[in-house]
A and B are shown apart, each in its own frame.
Chain A
């Protein structure tokens, strides 16, 4: 390799972005070239020094004491949210584990709805068109839920959810008269999420609620309570068992 080629890639080498073969070629060149070796050494020295000093930044003890004190007293959302009836945001905090979801979905024969949710979301992402009857504001979406499904629920606003930053994008009616549903679009920790609302009297409650929100945003999950069913589908977290259907 020539010096110019090597020097163009020294930063990538220092940043561990090179594949093993290229990295090795550069190391071989550097061994035999004093000037490139000097440049690489200087880059590493400066980077190490900068890292060492900046990592030494510490949160003041009194600041942590204040945070810890607040954490000791701040109300935690429990496994079953307190404001269930009024805030769908709380539903997000009480999602079932994927295994439980699949069990519920399979047992009620509703897999096709989950599949449709993901398909619809992918289609929406391409077109950015919610179609006729779409709700663009939270108030419109809440009215749509009430008119179409007779559900009085609240759409989550940013900051409502526990550990998850959900932002409302839009909602639209889906399904037909025999199986009406509403699909709401959110971004959750930067990822697209669809929430499907249906009425389903067949399953009356779910006893296996566990909070899984936060780690990677919402994964696919479902929550059933009374006659309300909500599917939460994050595009990049479709379980492999379902992904094969698309």
Chain B
């Protein structure tokens, strides 16, 4: 029972090399869920710092990307009250439902206004998805995680995760189906 001692500098460098390739994926997800570039950067940074502290070059995680996302999703949930609420992480009394809905509508409205390019129909369509739909859709369609992992991270049943993704895809197809993308120039009517 001996452990291979690796210097702190080597461990740090090894972690940065391994983790750097996932930065765009992590940032993309955080950006979609948090909508604010500064918050997304903060959350990704905290995710990396947290992961580096636990990283052992002698025994690296089998799937570093999944591990990073495990930490990221929890941090995003902590930051995004709307997403946490929809994922059932924040319990609400039923008599607060109306207030919640109004609040969610306001949130979506704010998100839409906050978009950098509101003329982009894809961004607009994505922003209209409910936060939890957007999160599940992104983790499944963009990052291609298994529904079981996604459900586990968000604390929702697998069937619920599947339904959220299906509804998100249906909504996007409905809004974008009659359009075709023109590379580099947003989208044009098909």
* Residues of chain A within 8 A of B8, CB atoms compared: 76, 78
Determine whether the beta carbon of B53 is less than 8 Å from that of A215: no
Q: How far is the CA of A209 from the CA of B74 in the complex (A)?
A: 27
- In-complex Cβ contact of B3 among A42, A72, A79, A93 (8 A): A79
In the complex, the answer to whether B27 meets A214 with C-beta atoms within 8 Å is no
Question: Contacts A76-B11, A76-B12: A190 and B153 contacting too (C-beta < 8 A)?
Answer: yes
Report the minimal beta-carbon distance from A84 to chain B, rounded to whole angstroms: 15
Are the C-beta atoms of B41 and A54 separated by less than 8 Å? no
With beta carbons under 8 angstroms apart, the residue of B54, B142, B177 that contacts A54 is B142
- Give Cα A74 to B47, complex, Å: 13
Which chain B residues border A58 with CB–CB below 8 Å? Answer: 24, 27
Q: Tell whether, in the assembled complex, residue B140 and residue A15 are in contact, meaning their CB atoms are under 8 Å apart.
A: yes
Task: Using CB atoms, name the residue of chain A closest to B63.
Answer: A215
The residues in B between 44 and 90 inclusive whose CB is less than 8 angstroms from any CB of A are 44-45, 48-56, 58-59, 61-63, 67, 70-71, 74
- Complex contacts, B27 vs chain A, CB 8 Å: 57-59, 63
The B contact surface, by secondary structure, is helix
A164 to B56, CA, bound (A): 13
A-side interface residues, number (CB < 8 Å): 56
CA A38 to CA B4, docked complex, whole Å = 59
Q: Is A189 among interface residues, defined by CB-CB distance under 8 A? A: yes
A212 close to B (CB within 8 Å): yes
User: In the complex, A50 Cα to B49 Cα: how many Å?
Assistant: 31
Contacts of A53 in B (CB 8 A): 122, 181
Q: Is A177 an interface residue (CB 8 A)?
A: no
Give the distance in Å from the alpha carbon of A205 to the alpha carbon of B147 in the complex: 42
Q: How far is the CB of A105 from chain B (nearest CB, A)?
A: 13
B1 touching A71, Cβ below 8 Å = no
Q: Are A67 and B23 in contact (CB under 8 A)?
A: yes
> In the bound complex, how far is the Cα of B80 from the Cα of A63, in angstroms?
21
Contact A163 to B50, CB < 8 A, known contacts A55-B142, A210-B56:
yes
B53 in contact with A71 (CB, 8 Å)? no
Closest approach, in angstroms, between the C-beta of B162 and any C-beta of chain A? 7
Contact partner, A71, options B16, B37, B138, Cβ 8 Å? B16
Given contacts A46-B177, A51-B141, A64-B23, whether A208 and B1 have CB atoms under 8 Å apart is yes
List the B side residues contacting A68 at CB < 8 Å.
16, 20
Q: Per-residue 0/1 for A187-219: is the Cβ within 8 Å of any B Cβ (1 yes, 0 no)?
A: 001100000000000000001111111111100
Chain B residue contacts of A126, Cβ below 8 A: none
**Chain A positions within 8 Å of B45 at CB level:** 66-67, 70
Interface string of B1-45 (1 = CB under 8 A from A): 111010010011001100010011011100110000100010011
A-B CB proximity, top 5 nearest: A163-B54, A162-B53, A208-B1, A59-B27, A214-B54
Some 19 contacts from A to B, beta carbons below 8 A apart, are: A15-B169, A43-B169, A46-B176, A47-B169, A54-B32, A54-B126, A57-B27, A58-B24, A60-B37, A67-B44, A74-B53, A76-B11, A163-B55, A163-B71, A190-B153, A208-B3, A214-B67, A214-B71, A215-B63
